[in-house]
Structure 1
Amino acid sequence: MEWWQTLLAVTGGVLLLWAVALALLWRARPGELTVREALRLLPDLVRLVRRLARDRTLPRGVRVRLWLLLAYLLSPVDLVPDVVPVLGYADDVVVVALALRAVVRAAGSAALTRAWPGGPAGLAVVQRLAGLPASSGPDVGSRRS
């Protein structure tokens, strides 16, 4: 396979993952999630994982899990191949949810809230994925990158 075909396949896969994740998260959205916030959700999730992985206040094991999550998401090897319609990308959403739950158990929900780069409605969706009750506060989403 030529380099441009690989680049095209990766780009197409990322766009398809984004669309599938958006559709799945839209079904589970809180009522106040706007279309604009929903479109920002995947990039905000990537920034969240990156911020948490770089946060030296978190235990080393938590940061290692987050780097492994990023590696898994970028890897062409998946539990369910991405060529399988819907299920191929749904497994990535499940892996992200499980990793977030493990991170929140080890690091606390305050670390998640502190590192969240998006708006409060997006944070509510991520908290739901992490198995937390949704909360809102004046500092939620105040850090942007």
Structure 2
Amino acid sequence: MPGWLTALVIAAGVIIASWLVLVVLARRLPPGLARDLAAFLPDCVTAARRLRRDPRVPRRAKIAVAFAAVWVLSPIDLIPEFLPVIGPLDDIIVVALMLRYAARSVPRDVLLEAWPGNPDLLKRLLGR
């Protein structure tokens, strides 16, 4: 195997292992703001999936949710992901802004129904 391919496999393994460690540590956090923030992006993914399939959600809200999903999945970031703590910050901000934009056109009960996490965090995010 060429040296660059070996290095790529090792780097991918290290990244996946670090993600697994972070997931395990995040699940062990005590209830509170830190745990809510650790669960924010996974909760957003679940809510986006649910909102995308809901017929009560307007098309412009679905487009905003799709934009947020593409942003998170994009390999191009304003802040590199490998930086601890601040790496996913740009993803969180874009998802929060798009979710807030989409929430203005989605009925509140539909949005709360789609949100799997702490409803207080979503209410704080929406500002209503």
- TM-score bin, normalised by smaller chain: 0.5 to 0.7
Counterpart residue type for residue 33 of structure 2: R
Counterpart residue type for residue 47 of structure 2: L
Residue aligning to 2:126: 130
Residue aligning to 2:33: 27
Q: Which runs of 5+ in 2 are unaligned?
A: none
Matched, 1:9 2:15: yes
Counterpart residue type for residue 104 of structure 1: A
Distance 1:115 1:77, change over 3 A: same
Check the 8 A contact 1:58/1:107 in 2, yes or no.
yes
The CA RMSD over aligned residues, in Å, is 3.5
Q: Which runs of 5+ in 1 are unaligned?
A: 29-34, 133-145
Which TM-score applies when normalising by structure 2?
0.68
Larger Rg: 2
Residue aligning to 1:68: 67
Hey, what's the Cα distance between the residues in 2 that align with 1:11 and 1:95? 26
CA deviations on 1:83-106 (whole Å, 9 max, x unpaired) are 333222122221121111101112
Which TM-score applies when normalising by structure 1?
0.61
Hey, what's the Cα distance between the residues in 1 that align with 2:88 and 2:40? 16
| Residues matched between the structures, number | 119
Counterpart residue type for residue 27 of structure 1: L
Hey, what's the Cα distance between the residues in 2 that align with 1:68 and 1:88? 19
CA deviations on 1:19-71 (whole Å, 9 max, x unpaired) are 78xx8x9437xxxxxx6x78765433321111112222211111111112111
Residue aligning to 1:99: 98
Identity of aligned residues (%): 33
